[in-house]
Structure 1
Amino acid sequence: MNPLHTELVRLYFADPQHALLHDATRSPLLGADGHVRCAVLELARPADWSLLGAVWRGVQTDLDLPAPAIAINGADGYQLWFAWQQPLPAAEVTDWLQALCRRYLGAVPPARLHCWPGKATADDDPAPPLPPTLHPRSGQWSAFIAPDLAAVFADEPWLDRDPGLEAQAHLLGRLEGMKPQDFAKSWQLLQPVPLAPTPGASPAAPHFAAPQPSREGYPTDTPAAFLQAVMQDASAPLGLRVQAAAALLATR
C-alpha cells in the first residue's frame, strides 16, 4: 500500500484488517455487517466554509472530539470526514450526523446538505468517493486540505491537478479517530433536553442544551469518573445530570 492508502485504511475503512480483501462491488467504507468507521458531512451549492468551519470548530471545542478531516469535493462544496477507532452501526452514525446538523446547521436548507451514511438504503445512498479523485461532472480534483487553507477554496472548491499522494497522506497522518467514549459523550451532549414545564403553561418544546464546559474539580482521568461527578453535581443542570447517569449506566 502507498502512504495515502495506509492512512485511508487506518482512519476510514470499515474493516482495516482486511483492507486488501474487501468486496470490489462494495465500498470499503461500509462493512458487510452494516457497520462503518467514518461519516461524511457535505455542505454544497454553494461551498461555505464560514458555516462548515463552525461545525469543524464546534465538534472540537463543544463536544471535545478529535478534529475531522476537511475536504473539497471537486465541484461545489466542502466536506468533513469523521473517523472512529471502532466500527459502529451505520444507523447510529446516521442519527449522530442528523443531531450534529440540527445543532450547528439548523438554518441551512436540507438540499445543501448531504450526510453519509444517510437514511436511504446503501444502494440508494452510495458511500462518497474518498479524496483525491476526479469529480465526474466538473473534471476537477477533490482533495483533503489543511484547516488554514480552507477558506481559500470558497469560490473554487477543487484542484485542477492531482494533489499528490505524499501531501494527502501527510494531512491525514495528523488525525485520529474518535474513541468509543468520545462518541458516547458527544451523543449525550447532542440530545435535546426538555425544559421544565411552568405550572399552568403549555408544555414547552424541547431545546438543545448549550455546550457546557467541564467544571473545575471534575475528574478527567476516566470517562466513568467524569460522568459520576457530573451526575452528583447539584449545581449542574438537571438535564446534563440525567444524561450523565444514562451514559454511566450504558458503560456497565
Structure 2
Amino acid sequence: MQKLNAELSRLYLAPPEGGTRTISLAFRKQAGDGETGHWERLCTVANALQAQSGLPAPAVSVSGDGAFGLWLSLEEPITVAQAQEFARLVGPGADTVAGPLPPCLNQASGKWAAFIHPGMGASFADDEGLDVQPSEAGQLALLEGLESIGPALFAQALEQLRQSAGVSPRAAQQASGAGAAAEGLLLKDATLEDIAAFLHSKNIEPTFRFLK
C-alpha cells in the first residue's frame, strides 16, 4: 500500500494548513438518463475540460453506491469555496463531491469504490462498484501517469468557466467542434486489448480483477 498511498498523496492530499487539492464530481442516474446517461454526462464534462481548457486528464472512479466520480488534482491548495465554485460551473447535473477518495469500501452497499480505466466506464453503468477489493497494482497503474493542474492553468480555466457561465459543457463542446473521440479523451472507448497493453506497459500481468 505504500506506493499507492504515495500516489494518492501526490495527487490529492492537501497540506495540514488547510485548503484542498482535489475537485471531485459525482454523476448519478437522473430521470431520462437511460442506461448510460450518467456516464455520458461525465464524459462530456471531462472531454470539455481537456479540449476547452487544456486541463490534464482526470481520474475516473466508481463509488460503490451508484455513481461515477471524476477527480481533478491540483498542484497547490485552493479554498474549499473555489473548489465548489469550479465544480458547480463545470458539472451541472452532478454532485459537487464524489465521496471518499478511492479505493475504499462503501459500508452501506458493501461494494468497493475504485479508480477505473476510463475506456471501461460504460460497462459499469448498472453496477457502479466492485464486489471485491481492487488490486493495489491496478489502482497504482491508473494513477501514476496522471498530472496535477498548475495554479496558472487553474486560474485561467476558472475564469473561462465564469465567463461562459450558463453555457453547458456539451453546448460549448459542440460549438467549438472539439471531437469527443479525440486521442486521450474519455469518450474514446478502450478495448480489452488496449487495457491489457496499458497494464503490460506498467509490468502488470492483466487479470479480470486488474482490468477493473
Q: 2:89 matched to 1:99?
A: yes
Aligned with residue 80 of structure 1, among 70, 75, 82:
70
Equivalent residues in 2 for 1:128-139, closer than 5 Å: 128-139=99-110
Q: Deviations over 1:164-208 (max 9, x none)?
A: 111101100010110111101111211236xxxxxxxxxxxx854
Q: Deviations over 1:30-82 (max 9, x none)?
A: x543x110111001146721111111111101111011100000120100011
Contact 1:37 1:83 in 2 (8 A): yes
Please, what is the CA RMSD of the aligned residues? 2.2
Contact 1:192 1:208 in 2 (8 A): no
In the alignment, what sits opposite 2:180? none
Offset, 1:139: 0.1
In structure 1, what is the Cα distance between the partners aligned to 2:106 and 2:162? 36
In structure 1, what is the Cα distance between the partners aligned to 2:134 and 2:167? 40
In the alignment, what sits opposite 1:39? 23
Deviant stretches of 4+, over 6 Å: none
- Structure scoring higher RCO (CA < 8 A, sep ≥ 6) equals 2
In structure 2, what is the Cα distance between the partners aligned to 1:208 and 1:129? 29
Count of residues paired in the alignment: 166
* Uncovered stretches (5+) of structure 1, i.e. residues with no partner: 16-30, 117-126, 194-205, 214-252
Q: Indicate the SS of the match to 1:87.
A: strand
Q: Relative to 1, partners in 2 of residues 1:140 and 1:207: Cα closer, same or farther, differing over 3 Å?
A: closer
* Uncovered stretches (5+) of structure 2, i.e. residues with no partner: 31-35, 177-212
TM-score, normalised with respect to structure 2: 0.72
Q: Indicate the SS of the match to 1:191.
A: helix
Q: 2:132 matched to 1:161?
A: yes
In structure 1, what is the Cα distance between the partners aligned to 2:161 and 2:44? 15
**Segment drifting more, 39-48 vs 50-59:** 39-48
Contact 1:3 1:166 in 2 (8 A): no
Larger radius of gyration: 1
Aligned with residue 141 of structure 1, among 101, 112, 115:
112
